[in-house]
Amino acid sequence: MSRKKEWRLNMECKKQQNDERCRCTYRPCSRRGSCCDCLAYHLKSRELPGCCFPPEVERTYDRSFEAFAKAWRL
pLDDT tens per residue, range 36-64: 999 999 999 999 999 999 999 999 999 99
Count of domains observed in the chain = 1
Is residue 70 included in any domain, yes or no? Answer: yes
Local structure of residue 73 (DSSP, 8 states):
T
Alpha helices in 1-74 (DSSP H): 3-10, 15-21, 35-44, 55-58, 65-71
What number of CA atoms fall less than 13 Å from residue 36's CA on the CB side? 6
What is the residue range of 49's domain? 34-74
Q: Is residue 63 part of a domain?
A: yes
Distance CA 48, CA 36 (A): 12
Q: With respect to residue 62, please indicate whether it lies within any of the assigned structural domains.
A: yes
In whole angstroms, what is the distance from residue 64 CA to residue 5 CA?
33
Checking if the pLDDT of 19 tops 80, the result is yes
Residue 58 lies in a domain: yes
Q: Is residue 27 part of a domain?
A: no
